[in-house]
Amino acid sequence: MAKPLTKVYRRLVEAAKLARKRAYAPYSHYPVGAAVLTESGRIFCGANVENASYGLSICAERVAIFNAVVRGEKVLKAVCVAGRSARPCGACRQVMVEFSGKETDLLLVDLDPNQGRDSVKKTRVFAMLPGAFDPLDSGLLPQHPQNLLRHRKTAAKKRRRPTQRKEA
């Protein structure tokens, strides 16, 4: 039996489902909603937005993540995707990796009208993209305190070892 979702994860699921209702999908008729929970506890939403020139369309996951980033939030604690057989595409998985830590949860909400209820699968962002391209490991990003990927790798070390302040 699956563990029930926490209150904040239930809010995340509801936000993604509400965002799905705002999707613009006149070509595929495949509306998707997404919501991200940031390190500060804020939730940002997104929906897929299609265009007659399909290459100019954007997925719900990236809309939600980009909404968070432009508001100064660059560390994701959880991502939620809601739709029929909801699964992020490869591009969205790579963008999620850019702003996620190894512990970032991914909630996949399958809205199957034939079942009569929604099903939620919980996994991790990094589990969805094995061997993800890591710009830090490749040398593309400098070792800098503002760098999210550096934060991702050093956060676990900081939790294990408390910092000591020097007295002047």
How many helices (H) and strands (E) are present in the chain, helices listed first?
A: 4, 5
Whole-Å CA distances, 125 to 47, 54, 61, 156 = 19, 26, 12, 17
Taking every pair of C-alpha atoms in the chain, what is the biggest distance, in angstroms?
68
Which of these is catalytic: 14, 39, 50, 61?
Answer: 61
What's the Cα-to-Cα distance from 153 to each of 4, 105, 144, rounded to whole Å?
A: 29, 17, 12
Annotation says 39 is catalytic: no
Dist CA 79 CA 104 (whole Å): 8
How far is C-alpha 122 from the geometric centre of its chain's CA atoms?
A: 12
Q: With residue 104 as reference, give the H or E element that holds it.
A: strand 100-110
Residue type present at position 15: A
What amino acid positions are annotated as catalytic residues? 61
